[in-house]
Structure 1
Amino acid sequence: MENYTVPSYVISTIAETVSENETHASLDSLFMYAEAPGEPPEGSKAVKALEWLRRINKVSGSETLTIIGRIIEKYMETDVETAPTFWRSEEMIEKEKANIEKIRKALERAGLSYSTGGIISKGEGLATKTLSELIKKKNIQAIDQEFERAIKNVQLSPREAVSAACNILESLFKVYIEEHNHLQMPAKQDLQSVWKVVKTDLGLDASKLEERDLQEIVSGIMATVNGIGALRTHASAAHGAGKKPYKLKPRHAKLAIHAAHTIAAFVLETWNEKKA
């Protein structure tokens, strides 16, 4: 994973949250569980948490996001949907919700996202957020799962992230075909085959567009879908690496993810417009 320095406002938000909700003993235990470097700093809980987080940021290098992810995991994955009980009042539940929202907004401002299991990832841009909203509205579980897998693995396993990026498109196109009775699923259900059916039905044919600029963009989309499929075949975790495996880096995975997300969002929006 690449080195990353967490912005000071994220550090401050997390420090404030943990110092308000932990005792000295539990705060020490939490940071040790996360494998934070060094001994607990001296001072109040607020000072201790802030200094320890700054130390993580300064010396942990590529492990910074991993360690901080473990620290906020207990807060981000608290079950706040349950009704108040003898042990958890409505006030406590509202406070837990506020903690999650406060940390989430700080991460979002820094271009970071949290995934289940204490995973903090970089690289969730506008296309990713748009796609996330669209797939949740359509409740397409398979796409939602691949979406999470892509974001989770972009830093940890670029090959796995590329595979997930391709699966996002493949799953979307298959769902589209299944939901339109006049369409027939191709015998070979690889990305290129299902894409051919979908693009024809949606009218995404560059040759039929009058505007030359749009022709070039749509032609680029066609080539990009093929490129993502080929990258999964030759370099992702979906196939053997062969004698000369691609040296995929997070930036390569991000390119594939952002491209797949942009195309998926465009297809979903075109689908919604056609249905309307």
Structure 2
Amino acid sequence: MTQPARELVNLRAREAVRDVMSGTLLRDIDDMWQDELFAPPAEDPEPVGGQRVTRFQGYLDQVDWTDPGHVARAIRVFEVAIRPVFFHPDTPEWDPSDLIERIRRLFARDGYTIDESGRFSGGRSIVLQSADLADLRDTTVILEHLERIEHAVVRDDPALAIGSAKELVESTAKLVLRERDQEFDSGYDLPKLVKLAEESLHLHPAQNRQDPDGTQTIRKVLGAALTITSGIAELRNDYGTGHGRDTAPTGLGPRHARLAVNAARLWCQFMLDTLGDPKAPWQKTATNPASGQEQPTPESADAKL
């Protein structure tokens, strides 16, 4: 059963920004959303306060809070929306410090930090969506690593995120090999597992093929992706979890964690996309149980006649 996609910004945080809009002009609310290419709502939703707060809610309702692209644009809207709170002149009538602290606390639940000027950074690090794994026989181990990486970045643990990114690549390679009924030794290191997995899907840049994946351009990108997986392994050896060390690594920050996580995503996503693509070149061959060699399927053989 596919797990429901997880919202990237919690409801209370969204409402906290919305409620700031009571003193904002309707025209300004429209501008801040439409500047980020959100269409105006066909009609305002059921009232959730005054007209301005309700208008803002209408835009909130149009955001897919599970889509990283939608959320990134909405966060830029939030920066504009809360700017007056951060730059409000000191007056005895209103002290915004408690409101700012509450907004920061609510967004921290999803890994965001808000600096002194109201700029957002961070957020949940999403490697793969659960839906990408729906057609595979055993996704438990991949989903486990997704959860570990997400928590590692949220709680600002770059070493754990880097270690988990390496494990995600390793688990994805093993999953691909199992799906392709390819034998492998549990002691194989990451570069060997990655090489075998790529070869099993006809993706290794050294393989000479007459299909789109064999073009010089695609092979160049695949070669870079292969290099990235080796870099993740080395990064994990130097900084990540999984090896005993006398002192904790220093100097790492969330940007290093995201570097490792996004690098892992590049390779894992393409491997899983290829594994699940019914038109991928590897689908046109089948393994001969007697010889262990891949041979053209009857469909692909007929195509050559």
205, 215, 233: which one pairs with 1:211? 215
Deviation (angstroms), 1:149: 0.9
Matched, 1:184 2:183: yes
Q: C-alpha offsets along residues 146-170 of structure 1, whole Å, 9 cap, x if unaligned?
A: 0111111114200001111111111
What letter corresponds to residue 173 of structure 2 in structure 1? F
Distance 2:247 2:125 in 1: 33
1:75-224 to structure 2, matched below 5 A, reads 122-124=123-125, 128=127, 130-138=128-136, 140-155=139-154, 156-181=156-181, 183-186=182-185, 188-207=187-206, 208=208, 211-224=215-228
What letter corresponds to residue 237 of structure 1 in structure 2? T
Distance 1:179 1:206, change over 3 A: closer
Deviation (angstroms), 1:217: 0.7
Give secondary structure in 2 for the equivalent of 1:206: coil
Q: Is the CA contact (8 Å cut-off) linking 1:186 and 1:193 kept in structure 2?
A: no
Distance 1:236 1:140, change over 3 A: same
Distance 1:244 1:52, change over 3 A: closer
Q: Is the CA contact (8 Å cut-off) linking 2:125 and 2:261 kept in structure 1?
A: no
Map of 1:233 onto structure 2: 237
Deviation (angstroms), 1:202: 1.0
Distance 2:120 2:134 in 1: 21
Q: Decide which structure has the larger Cα Rg and report it.
A: 2
What letter corresponds to residue 254 of structure 2 in structure 1? P
Give secondary structure in 1 for the equivalent of 2:187: coil
Map of 2:17 onto structure 1: 12
TM-score by length of 1: 0.55
Map of 1:271 onto structure 2: 275
Deviation (angstroms), 1:186: 2.6
5+ residue gaps, structure 1, are 1-7, 21-49, 71-109, 113-120
Matched, 1:259 2:263: yes
5+ residue gaps, structure 2, are 1-12, 22-47, 49-95, 112-118, 285-305
Distance 1:228 1:221, change over 3 A: same
Larger helix proportion of the pair: 1
- Between the aligned residues of both structures, percent identity stands at 20
Distance 1:245 1:186 in 2: 31
